[in-house]
Structure 1
C-alpha cells in the first residue's frame, strides 16, 4: 500500500469519519433509550410497532453517514440489520429484548451489539428452543490469538498480490472475511462480558468443519443472523406452510424465504459499503444456496438416515461449494466497488497510526531514561 494512500485515509478519518461515527452511535443510543422506556409503557403489538418504526427508519439512514469500509460496514450490519430485526421482534414482545428482567445497560448492549445473553431463567420461548447452540461454547484466548496472527499474515500477503494468482487471492479473501468477522464479533462480545458481567453465546462454530449446507448455515456460520432470521422469517413461514403442504415439507418454503430475506439484507449492506446500484449477484448467491439447501433437506428426508456421505467428503464438498459460489457471485460486487482496496488502505492506516503511537511512547520513555 502506497504511503500517500495511507496518509490520505488517515487524513480522511481525522477530518470527520471518527466524528461521524460517534454522532451515529450517540443517535443510536438515544433512540434505543426511547425504545426501552416506550416498551415499558406500551404493550406488545401494533401500538408498540408504530412507536418503533421511526427508529427502524432512522437506523436504515444512519449508516449512510459513514463512508469507511470498517466503521461503516460494522455500523450497517449492527444497526440496519441486527438491531432493526430485534426491535421488530420486541414490538410484538418476542426476541432477546423482550426479556422483562433486562436492565437499561443490558438492553442497550443486546439491542445494538451482535450478542445474546444466555437466559438465566428456565422459561424460554419456543423459537429459542429450536435455535441450535454450538457444542464447544466460547473460544479460548489461544484460539483467537491464533486467528489474529493468521489475519495479520493475510493482510501482509496482500502486499505481494501481484505475485499471487487471482484465484488464490479470492481464497485469501474468504479467510479474511471469516477471521475479520469472528474477531470483530468476539471483541464486541468480550466488551459486553466485561461491562455486563454476563456470559454470551458464540457467533461462529468453526464453519470450515461443516459437513453439509444445513450444518454450515444453521449451526456454524454467523449464528446471530440465524437467531434473527429464524423467529422473524423461518418459523412464521413454516407454520403457515404446514397447513398447506403438511409438516414434513413445510421447512422448504420457510428455508427459501429466509434466504431471500438474507440476500436482500446483504444487498443493502453492500450498498452501504459501495454506494453503487445493486447488481443482484449477492441475492442470487443466497437464492442458489437456498435452493441447494432445500434439495439437501429433501434428499435427507427421502433417504431417512439409510445412507450419508463420509464426514471428510461432506466437509470438502460443502466448503468447496461455498467458496466457489462465493468467487462467482459474492466477491465480484465487493471488488468492483473497490472494497478490497479501501479496506486494506484503512487497515494500513490503522497500522501506521499504531506504529506512530509506539514510536512516540518509546521516544518519551527513552528521553526520561
Structure 2
C-alpha cells in the first residue's frame, strides 16, 4: 500500500507542476534573476541615464513575462506585481529614487521590496504618532477571517447565479475582487514580514468607508499604487503646472495625469487577463474619476470648509458613485473575457487538487 500511495503522490505533484504552475515558477525565477541583476548593476553604474539604459531590458522583460501565464489569479497578480509595481520601482531606482534606493538594503530585502506591494518601515526614523497610524492600519486576524469566509461564501453563491438578479451578482463581484486582492496582498505582506522581520504598511484601509473620492483614492484604496504614482507622475506634473497655473490650481492637472497613467496601466493588466483588444472602457473609468476628483478638489478650494456633509451621506454617495461607475465601465471588459467563470474554475481546480493531495496520503485503504 505504501508504494501505491507514493505513486499517487507523484501523480498529484506531477499534475500540479505541469502547465500554469510550471510556467509560474519559471516566470518568478526569471523575475528574481533579473532583479538581482538590477541590484548588482546599481553597485557599478551611477544613477542617471546610463543606469536607466541598463534597466530597460528588465523593464521590457517584465512587460512580456505575464504573457506566459493565463490564469486569473496567478497571471493577474503576477502582472500587477511585476509589470506595474516592479517596473515603476525599477524606473525610479535608475535615478536613485523610490523604495529601492536605500543603500543599506540586502539582496533579499531588495527583491521583496521590488516585486511585492510592501514598504519597509524603519523604526528608528518613525515617531510615536506614525507608529500609531501604522498600528491602526494593521487589521486583526478576525478581520481577515471574516473576509476569507465571505470570499468562500461568494464562491458558493456562484452556483446559484442563474437564479439571482444581475445587479446583485455585480455587487458580489465587487466585494469578491476587493476581498481577493486584500487577502492576497496580506499574505504577501505576511510572508515578507516573516522572512525579513520588518513592519509593513497596509495596502487597503476599508475603502467602503470612504467619505470622498480624495479619501477613496488617496487614503483607502491600493495605497502602494498611490505611493508609486505620486513621485513618478503626480509630483513632476505638479511641479510643472505650478509655474503655469500657480500653487492653488496646480494639483488639478497633476491629478488628471495620474488617473490617465493609471487607466492605461489598467488597460495593460486587463489585456494580460483576457488577451483581447482593448475597448478603452477602463481608461474611461479612470478619466471619469479623474475629472470628478478635479471637480471635488476645486469645489473644496472654493468653499474652504464652509459646507459640512454628514459622514453617512458622504460615504453613501461616494461608495454609490464608485460602485455605479464600476458596474458601468469596469466590469464589462472583465465579464466579456469570462473572468468570473475562469476564476470559479480555478477555485474548483484548487479544491480538486487539495482533495487529491490528501487522498494520496490516505493509507488506511
* TM-score after normalising by structure 2: 0.92
Distance in 1 (alpha carbons) for counterparts of 2:177 and 2:205: 15
Decide whether the 8 Å contact of 1:63 with 1:75 is kept in 2: yes
Query: Using the alignment, how far apart are the partners of 1:210 and 1:134 within structure 2?
Result: 18
CA distance in 2, matches of 1:12, 1:294: 51
| 1:154 and 2:154 correspond | yes
1:75 to 65, 74, 78: 78
Displacement after TM superposition at 1:122 (Å): 3.2
Aligned with residue 27 of structure 1, among 25, 30, 37: 30
CA apart distance, 1:17 = 1.0
Partner residue, 2:291: 291
Structure 1 equivalent of residue 130 of structure 2 = none
**What is residue 120 of structure 2 aligned with on the other side?**
117
2:355 matches 1:352: no
Deviation, structure 1 residue 41: 1.6
Quick one: which of 10, 14, 18 aligns to 1:15? 18
2:147 partner SS: helix
Q: Summarize deviations over 1:257-302 as a string: whole Å, max 9, x none.
A: 0000000000000000000000000000000000000000001001
CA 1:123–1:102 in 2, change beyond 3 Å: closer, same or farther?
A: farther
**Mean Cα displacement is larger for which, 158-167 or 134-143?**
134-143
Alignment of structure 1 residues 334-349 onto 2, 5 Å: 334-349=334-349
Structure 1 segment 160-239 matched on structure 2, within 5 A: 160-239=160-239
Give the structure-1-normalised TM-score.
0.91
Structure 1 position 357, deviation (Å): 2.5
**Do structure 1's residue 39 and structure 2's residue 42 form an aligned pair?**
yes
Structure 1: runs of 5+ lacking an equivalent:
1-9, 125-132
- C-alpha spacing 1:11/1:283, structure 2 compared with 1 (3 Å): farther
1:127 aligns to what?
none
Aligned length: 348
**1:6 match:** none
- The 1-side partners of 2:340 and 2:16 are apart by 18
Residue 135 of structure 1, CA deviation: 7.0
Q: Give the secondary structure class of the aligned counterpart of 1:160.
A: helix
Residue 42 of structure 1: how far off its partner (Å): 1.6
The alpha-carbon distance between structure 1 residues 240 and 311, as it changes in their structure 2 partners (threshold 3 A), is same
Tell me if structure 2 keeps the 8 A contact 1:134–1:220: no
| Residue 52 of structure 1 pairs with residue 52 of structure 2 | no
RMSD: 1.8
CA distance in 2, matches of 1:315, 1:135: 24
1:92 and 2:95 matched: yes
| Cα distance, 1:353–1:192 mapped onto 2, change above 3 Å | same
- The CA distance in 1 between the partners of 2:305 and 2:281, in whole Å, is 35
CA distance in 2 between partners of 1:287 and 1:138 (Å): 31
Contact 1:21–1:66 (CA under 8 A) maintained in structure 2? yes
CA distance in 1 between partners of 2:341 and 2:262 (Å) = 26
